[in-house]
Amino acid sequence: MARVALRIAENVSGDFFVDSTCIDCDACRQIAPTVFHDIGDQSVVFHQPQTADELMAAQRALISCPTASIGDIAKRDMRAAVASLPELTAEDVYRCGYTSESSFGAISYYVQDAKTMVDSPRFANPLVRNIEAMGGVRRMLLTHQDDVADHEKFQPDGLDPVQIDAGMLMIPTPGHTKGHSVFLYRDKFLFTGDHLAWDPDDRKLIAFRNACWYSWSEQIDSMRRLLDYRFEWVLPGHGRPVNLPADEMHELLQQCIAWMKSR
């Protein structure tokens, strides 16, 4: 539970705040971008919720914070926010929330029609109940070893892609870690783990050079192989998601590879 005594000074005045236990995972800034802001090595509240949508987003961020670093002095009723997770992204793809400190606040996703979870959230009974009501989880797909979180509670060799079922393809993408893979769903949604993300400030696709734990050169090769596929969504574990037309996504991926080769 966040502590008022540890409230970061840069928070604007008001009920919602972030305390100094924040690990700067970016989850709150993804979930409620109009409320939370980065101050370098932590997040703070830069705008108190004013609308019902902002309040719901701020409450989802509070619930999802992996270190319980977000507080609400007013202690509002959270039942609607709890009921809203997983949160719809598009079609049958949902953002789980409830991020885990063990995966540094990585975002995980629930694919309802496929009854599949991509990477693992924190194991929380309200989330489990909500997912069970939506059809449950038949399969857990892990992009890499960093973001496994509590996957055991929910219960590839080489570089060739693996068809998991008619709608889901696993594409090995070593680089960030040796065994990293991404998952392409319906030739539209690419779940990218820590391989590929969106930079909203410069409006470009990026990889994380300073968080490449295995091989940058192999990550470049892995990125190049993604040019063989079409997708409209990049849904990362860390970094920002983006939805763009497939042709534009392809062009931006080419630019990303050129940028990676210059690093």
pLDDT in tens, 74-125: 999 999 999 999 999 999 999 999 999 999 999 999 999 999 999 999 999 9
68 and 180 assigned to the same domain: no
pLDDT tier for residue 158 given thresholds of 50, 70 and 90: confident
Residue 153 scores a pLDDT above 60:
no
Boundary residue ending a domain (61, 79, 97): 79
Does 73 share its domain with 197? no
Mean pLDDT across the chain: 95
Do residues 129 and 59 share a domain?
no
Mean pLDDT of 145-158: 55
**Are residue 61 and residue 108 in the same domain, yes or no?**
no
pLDDT at residue 155 above 50? no
Return the pLDDT at 1: 87
> Does residue 207 share a domain with residue 115?
yes
Q: Which domain, by its residues, includes 229?
A: 85-155+157-261
The band of 185, judged by pLDDT with boundaries at 50, 70 and 90, is very high
Last residue of one domain, picked from the residues 79, 110, 129: 79
pLDDT in tens, 27-84: 999 999 999 999 999 999 999 999 999 999 999 999 999 999 999 999 999 999 999 9
SS (H, E, C) the chain: CCCHHHECCCCCCCCEEEECCCCCCCHHHHHCCCCEEECCCCEEECCCCCCHHHHHHHHHHHHHCCCCCEEECCCCCCHHHHHCCCEEEECCEEECCCCCHHHCCCCCEEECCCCEEECCCCCCHHHHHHHHHCCCCCEEECCCHHHCCCHHHHCCCCCCCEEEECCEEEEECCCCCCCCEEEEECCCEEEEECCCEEECCCCEEECCHHHCCCCHHHHHHHHHHHHHCCCCEEEECCCECEECCHHHHHHHHHHHHHHHHCC
Are 49 and 134 part of one and the same domain?
A: no
CATH number at residue 18: 3.30.70.20
The contacts of residue 202 (CB under 8 Å, 6+ apart) are: none
Q: Same structural domain for residues 66 and 126? A: no
| pLDDT over threshold 80, residue 17 | yes
Q: Per-residue pLDDT for 144 more than 60?
A: yes
| Same domain? 107 vs 9 | no
Amino acid at 86: P
Residues of the chain with pLDDT > 90: what percent? 94
Q: How far apart are CA 113 and CA 135, in angstroms?
A: 8
Q: How many alpha carbons fall within 13 Å on the CB side of residue 235?
A: 26
Number of domains in the chain: 2
Confidence of residue 150 (pLDDT cuts 50, 70, 90): low
Q: What is the pLDDT of residue 145?
A: 72
pLDDT tens digit string along 189-226? 999 999 999 999 999 999 999 999 999 999 999 999 99
**Residue 134: its pLDDT value, please?**
98
Pair 254, 184 in one domain: yes
Q: Are residues 111 and 208 in the same domain?
A: yes
CATH number of the domain that residue 206 is part of: 3.60.15.10
| pLDDT surpassing 70 at residue 161 | yes
End position of a domain, from candidates 44, 79, 114: 79
Q: Are residues 111 and 219 in the same domain?
A: yes
Question: 33 and 123 share a domain?
Answer: no
Is the pTM higher than 0.85? yes
